[in-house]
Structure 1
Amino acid sequence: MLHCHVLTGLHRMEETMLVKMTNIMHAAYYVARTEQPFTHFTTLHGLINRTGGQLPNCYASNKACERYDIHKMFIYRQSKRTSKDALFQCFSSCFDSDFPKQHHNNLYCCLSPIRFVVIIYEMELEKLLQKLKLAKYFSVMIDGATDTATLENELVYVRYMDTEGPINSYLKIEDVKHANAAGVLEAVYAAFSVAGLVDWRERLVGFGSDGAAVNVGCRTGVATRLKEQVPHLIPIHCIAHRLELGVVSAIKENPKMQQLQATLCSIYEQYHYAPKALRELRMIAEAMEEKVLKPTTLHGARWVLYVHRAAKVLCDSFPVILAHFEDMASLERRPKPSAAVTGRAKKVSSYLKDYGSVLFLHFLCDVLDHLATLSKVFQKDSVTVCEAVESQERCFWNLSSLKTRMGLCMETFVEQSNGSGCYKGVQLNRASSSTLEPQRAAVIDAVISHLDERLKDLHQDSIVAKFRALDPSCWPKYDHTDAVARETFTQHGQEEMKSLSGFYKELLAKAGITPEEVIAEYAQYKSFALRRSAVPMRDIFLSVLQSEERRAMFRCLCHLMEIYMVLPVSTAVCECGFSTMKRVKTDWRSSLTTAQLQRLMFISIQGPALEDFDAASAAQRWWTSSLRRRRPGFNPWSSRERGDEEDELVLMGSEDELEE
């Protein structure tokens, strides 16, 4: 014990140096957290010193931020006072693999310099791994993309229960040697292996991905291969992706929607590829004293939101855009545009001058309003199956109501046109009192049909749908005075609970729970949740899982509740991860290794806010992680020339210290 206290005292940093190293850790964390290049560290270091901050005179270069500032060790020749075998054994222990045999007689090596970024990364990674080790169950979410260096990467996220609810956390980015199911699965295994989670498959309950065949293929897909090893695994195709695919399928069936989509694409291409056209559009808007927004693209990761935004821009800037296209289609325009531009202008202006087309445009804006709201819910990190199903049903009710009544955008258009066909100063052709009821019904029926087909596994004929037996809003009405109603209420959900307890039989058995105990506890849960029928299912589960008393009351059902909460309904968070990757690994930083990219992405995504970062702990970790005592600013060559050659082991400082 005394020996430990002595070592702690020897490793204790002076207060003044601790303050300086804490400040330099703040600077290094700022560079990594804000996704700045390492070259900004030198400027930041100088700025802090010029403004009165306390920073050490050493570690002022970008290499200090990038590298672990531990002293390099250079070995020149064999030491007289240390045997060759002893040196060989010592330095072999510093490497993951055996020390190269060719250096046995002439030992010369350079340990990789430790970096501030790695110190911070390891500290933050330990926090996440500690939470994962405490989690009973978790799910994995993956997605793949290519970076600026044309390397195939697989992003791995984990979803687990925290004290505040389900959390999606970034775990790892891995190189994919082969972009097939075996290669992707190997990358997933590598991610968990590096993280040190040996028993991850025993606690894995869900797998989330996009709809690529390599992920969800029924024969050799990643989900199928995982399910062979984890029988209780539930693969889920991202609901946000399925929403986009369902809307695209509905558009392909409707000619009027296809025509509108083609018009929006033509308008975007006109202004995206021609700066002159955009400049003219703004000049026309200024002359008409109208506001105009630049037409946006229809293509993106969140397709529904992009189409919704493009339709909104056209509705808001309708008179200005129409005036510009009419000017481009005019025969008197000088200089005369190309035949392709003139033809496009005539087609777009003809479409925008038609009363029925503009009315349909505003109707589609109402439809997209509800779909965009649903898409945003599907993209939330905290979304659960029950919340997704409730949002879907609410969206379907709102869409169905548009069959018989006009939405806000369509109603505004009808009021402003006032039956004469004059809208925002533009006289439209073929004006009528029609409200397009047949076309509206056809569009809404197609959208609901395709979405219901793609999302039916959430509420029909699947193990995920069985969890709805725990949702009090789905239970039959309870009337204690009616014997039939009481019996119906008592029997409701029994079969679903049997299916769930059978599906998770192995997991429950490890916790010492039998299917009979689950069924018996379900009756008790009904009396508890019946008084909370107006409370969302997610909040009921959280109220149980966050209370020790209620966890003890529902010891068996707690396992099913936690499994349900961590099911990966949406993988939209993976798209955010790739956005971070593109910001960190730009064309100017394309040589970043995967290991360094992993550190920077982890700090950017998982790191705390700048004001919450514990720089003092990072400085202490840096101080105690050295192979020998830290000596910031020490120059071992101050008392002798560089050209001296001595037959001994020389320990040199870092490159930054040598420069000092």
Structure 2
Amino acid sequence: MTLSCDNHCVIEKLLQTPFSSLSYNEKLKIIEEGAPKPNLTLHTKVKSCTRHFNTSLYEAIPWLCGCDKLNKLFCWPCLLFSKEKHVFNSAGYNDINNIYKSGKRHGHSVNHIACLKEITLFGKNRRIEFSLSSQYKQSIEKHNEAVKQNRKFVGQLITAVCFLGSQGLAFRGHDESVASVNRGNYIEVLNMLARYDSDLHNHLESSTAFRGSSPDIQNELIHSVSELMTMEIKKEISKANYVSLILDETSDVMNKCQLASVLRYVTADGNVEERFLRFTDVSSDRSANSLFNHALEILNDFECGPKLIAQTYDGAAVMASQHAGVQAKIREQYPNAIFVHCYAHRLNLVLAQSASFIKEVKVFFATLSGFRTFFAKSTKRTEALDSHLRKRFPSIAPTRWQYHSRLAETVHEYREGIENLLVSIIEEPEEWDVETISSARGLLSLLRDFDFNFMLKIFSSIFPYSGALFKILQTKRSDIAFCNTKIDEFKHHMQRLRGGFDHLWSEMENVFDSNGPTRPKRIRIDSMSGEERKNSYKRLFCEIIDVVCQNVSVRFSENATLLFLSLLDARYFPMYRTSFPEKAFSCLKENYGAFFYFVALKSELLVMFSDPDMAKDSVYDLHQYMYALQLSCVFPQIFKLCELVLTIPATSAADERSFSALKRLKNYLRNSQNQDRLSSLALMNIEKSFLNKLQSKPSFLDEVIDLFAKKNRRIELNYKQ
């Protein structure tokens, strides 16, 4: 008797995939393993007694087999070879009381006898054919040997494609003719590989049917690699419990609006991933309905709509509007998908508004940018800066205050060196032009100005913390609860800084009294006494700090939908031991009631609150702790809650990073590639580490070749049996 059907599920598989569609080797393996004959739980009531299934029935009816998953009996020969459907090869038989009568009738049927003949002769005719026709056998062997060589060659093409795609390099050359010095990276890489592989060299030199260098073949190879990557991403997502959607858009070099799509989830091995999916050209229609349809297409394609628990975009009205925006339309379809306005955008708005609300701050940043402009305008000035300072001023982006902070920190740190350089320029008029000397005088005066240094001192105290917060917000592993904690710390730092004016003022007075720079030049300050002047600057100092604090509080005000994050915040565990957080617990029920068994979750939380070992700095650390010690089976609901919190993105930084890849892949010299090629190359370049992981699998090349071989090719890539 063979193993139970549970081990192989052969009958269940045959009902889904017909025996006739299998390869010869697969058929032979199934027949050699024989019919599954498990002990079933079938029973039939007969008058006052119950007749149960007995395995001796298999001996009485030799062609009988059974499936313990379906709990049915089948005819083994008919299941394999019958072209007609009947109860013994489709639905299954379960009437124990009439099995002998029905079995006798079926065993004498014409169809059953024909199938019995087929299973008896299976393989014998093929072996006779092979023995009678050695030429036929040799032709198959010759074909398979050629396929082996062809697949090896195509594998080398795929290796070249993966290398160029992951590095973001161009494939095509301006002149790809044989006489060209540079035939493009793709052909040149193949020629380089051919120097060390005689088979590849011979194929490239002698092949007339398939050389693999045409633009169409390149596109299909690129598409095959990206298709396999997409399939693997879908496998990862199918094992994830929750998924979040991140969307953002930018303009490429051809002024087309490219929408980047990213999914965030926690993998089965406990890692937080933000997978780039594709670029989509939405230039023709950027309305909320169009972007909503695109989001639905993504969710349906990756079969993750029911798992969607969050969506993150910037603050544009078409995306974030509560009534007609994309986020509102998605919530109508998937109510659990809460909207999170990108935290990095919020922090950028906080700093931008602090500058726009206060005149002195606005003037300060306008003059601060003059330092970089002065040195960047001339190569000679840049060379002098490199020689004296060995440091250049960072570039400024009007929408990225992180760069303003770098400029302020650079001027503050290298203030003395910059001053000495400006003095040397002024004192050597024969070496510099009039414009340079005049501008240097202005910058030197600015650098010695009390007001400018006062503002520089304030923001050099703020920006290191805001810059560190920017980095935390844009880190993939930073969960939203951890980001909220760091934002609270930033607010506390600003409040502490507000009480440090006296220390800052004493530093300013010491520096300016000892070095004797210019006096304060604020309006109506010169005529004031020392104490009045100090109070005036203190009001400005407090105004700057208060504006920043107020904007942080407004922009990052506690969202009612995120109150449940405090359930995993270790800072509150001592308080939760005596008073359970009912509001946060109810918030979780309201937003994600379908995902948890709340009776068990409450018990698990009570245990966690009283366990100091589970008080971790972040949800990520708690999740990794539970994963490493296999505590997911002890606290399954908390483990799921950790995964949910980790899946909620705090920023759309993953989309922002993809824009850098877009600028590399589609530039002035590479602006004619079609959208599919661009999206596929972007996937290979942005998800380089994922591609490298796939390439380490022994089956990678074969899987890509199988996808590539689905179309009719002028080269044989499929083996014969």
TM-score w.r.t. the length of structure 2 is 0.68
Distance 2:649 2:569 in 1: 19
1:464 to 559, 562, 569: 562
- The residue type paired with residue 587 of structure 2 is S
Distance 1:545 1:279 in 2: 58
Call closer, same or farther: CA 1:568–1:66 in 2, change over 3 Å. farther
The answer on whether the counterparts of 1:124 and 1:607 sit within 8 Å (CA) in structure 2 is no
Q: Which residue of 2 aligns with 1:147?
A: 252
Counterpart check, 1:28 vs 2:28:
no
Q: Which residue of 2 aligns with 1:383?
A: 478
Call closer, same or farther: CA 1:12–1:185 in 2, change over 3 Å. farther
2:290 to 176, 183, 193: 183
Distance 1:556 1:269 in 2: 56
1:580 to 661, 668, 676: 661
2:345 to 238, 241, 246: 241
1:453 to 536, 554, 557: 554
Q: Percent identity?
A: 16
Deviation, structure 1 residue 617: 3.2
The answer on whether the counterparts of 1:66 and 1:115 sit within 8 Å (CA) in structure 2 is no
In the TM superposition, 1:551-570 aligns within 5 A as 551-570=632-651
Q: Which residue of 2 aligns with 1:265?
A: 369
Call closer, same or farther: CA 1:627–1:375 in 2, change over 3 Å. closer
Unaligned segments of structure 1, at least 5 residues: 70-112, 478-487, 635-660
Counterpart check, 1:536 vs 2:591:
no
Counterpart check, 1:171 vs 2:277:
yes
The answer on whether the counterparts of 1:35 and 1:604 sit within 8 Å (CA) in structure 2 is yes
Distance 1:255 1:114 in 2: 55
Distance 2:438 2:687 in 1: 51
- The residue type paired with residue 519 of structure 2 is R
In the TM superposition, 1:156-555 aligns within 5 A as 156-162=261-267, 163-176=269-282, 177-193=284-300, 196-198=301-303, 200-272=304-376, 274-275=377-378, 278-280=379-381, 282-283=383-384, 286=387, 290-299=388-397, 303-319=400-416, 321-322=418-419, 337=434, 347-405=442-500, 420-422=513-515, 428-430=517-519, 438-456=539-557, 460-477=558-575, 489-508=577-596, 513=597, 515-528=598-611, 530-533=612-615, 535-544=617-626, 548=630, 550-555=631-636
Deviation, structure 1 residue 148: 1.8
Deviation, structure 1 residue 139: 0.4
Call closer, same or farther: CA 1:240–1:54 in 2, change over 3 Å. farther
Q: Deviations over 1:288-327 (max 9, x none)?
A: xx215333333156x2320122113323443564467678
Deviation, structure 1 residue 505: 2.4
Deviation, structure 1 residue 190: 2.8
Using the TM superposition, name which of 292-301 and 329-338 deviates more: 329-338
Counterpart check, 1:119 vs 2:224:
yes
Q: Which residue of 1 aligns with 2:35?
A: none
SS at match of 1:382: coil
Q: Deviations over 1:121-176 (max 9, x none)?
A: 12222111100111111000000112222222211100101223321111122222
Deviation, structure 1 residue 385: 1.6
1:620 to 702, 715, 718: 702
Distance 2:384 2:668 in 1: 35
Call closer, same or farther: CA 1:391–1:12 in 2, change over 3 Å. farther
- The residue type paired with residue 308 of structure 2 is L
The answer on whether the counterparts of 1:475 and 1:492 sit within 8 Å (CA) in structure 2 is no
Counterpart check, 1:42 vs 2:187:
yes
SS at match of 1:608: helix
Deviation, structure 1 residue 217: 0.9
The answer on whether the counterparts of 1:501 and 1:518 sit within 8 Å (CA) in structure 2 is no
Call closer, same or farther: CA 1:283–1:489 in 2, change over 3 Å. closer
SS at match of 1:242: helix
Q: Which is helix-richer, 1 or 2? A: 2
Unaligned segments of structure 2, at least 5 residues: 1-21, 29-139, 172-183, 521-529
Call closer, same or farther: CA 1:611–1:519 in 2, change over 3 Å. closer
The answer on whether the counterparts of 2:150 and 2:716 sit within 8 Å (CA) in structure 1 is no
- The residue type paired with residue 556 of structure 1 is Q
Call closer, same or farther: CA 1:355–1:65 in 2, change over 3 Å. farther
SS at match of 2:169: coil
1:3 to 1, 24, 44: 24
Q: Deviations over 1:344-384 (max 9, x none)?
A: 66654432221342243133222111110011001101111
Distance 2:371 2:193 in 1: 49
Call closer, same or farther: CA 1:623–1:183 in 2, change over 3 Å. closer
Distance 2:278 2:154 in 1: 29
The answer on whether the counterparts of 2:164 and 2:186 sit within 8 Å (CA) in structure 1 is yes
- The residue type paired with residue 493 of structure 1 is P
The answer on whether the counterparts of 2:409 and 2:463 sit within 8 Å (CA) in structure 1 is no
Deviation, structure 1 residue 404: 4.3
Deviation, structure 1 residue 236: 0.3
Call closer, same or farther: CA 1:492–1:610 in 2, change over 3 Å. closer
- The residue type paired with residue 674 of structure 2 is T
Using the TM superposition, name which of 314-323 and 149-158 deviates more: 314-323
Call closer, same or farther: CA 1:358–1:281 in 2, change over 3 Å. farther
Q: Deviations over 1:266-292 (max 9, x none)?
A: 2333344x32xx413534775xxx215
User: Which of the pair has the greater relative contact order for Cα pairs under 8 Å at 6+ separation?
Assistant: 1
The answer on whether the counterparts of 2:228 and 2:704 sit within 8 Å (CA) in structure 1 is no
The answer on whether the counterparts of 1:205 and 1:233 sit within 8 Å (CA) in structure 2 is yes
Q: Deviations over 1:614-654 (max 9, x none)?
A: 486343235444258977599xxxxxxxxxxxxxxxxxxxx
Deviation, structure 1 residue 468: 0.3
Call closer, same or farther: CA 1:412–1:320 in 2, change over 3 Å. farther
Q: Which residue of 1 aligns with 2:115?
A: none
The answer on whether the counterparts of 2:191 and 2:201 sit within 8 Å (CA) in structure 1 is no
Q: Which residue of 1 aligns with 2:98?
A: none
Distance 1:292 1:413 in 2: 27
SS at match of 2:250: strand
Using the TM superposition, name which of 436-445 and 577-586 deviates more: 436-445
The answer on whether the counterparts of 1:268 and 1:295 sit within 8 Å (CA) in structure 2 is yes
Call closer, same or farther: CA 1:53–1:136 in 2, change over 3 Å. farther
SS at match of 2:587: helix
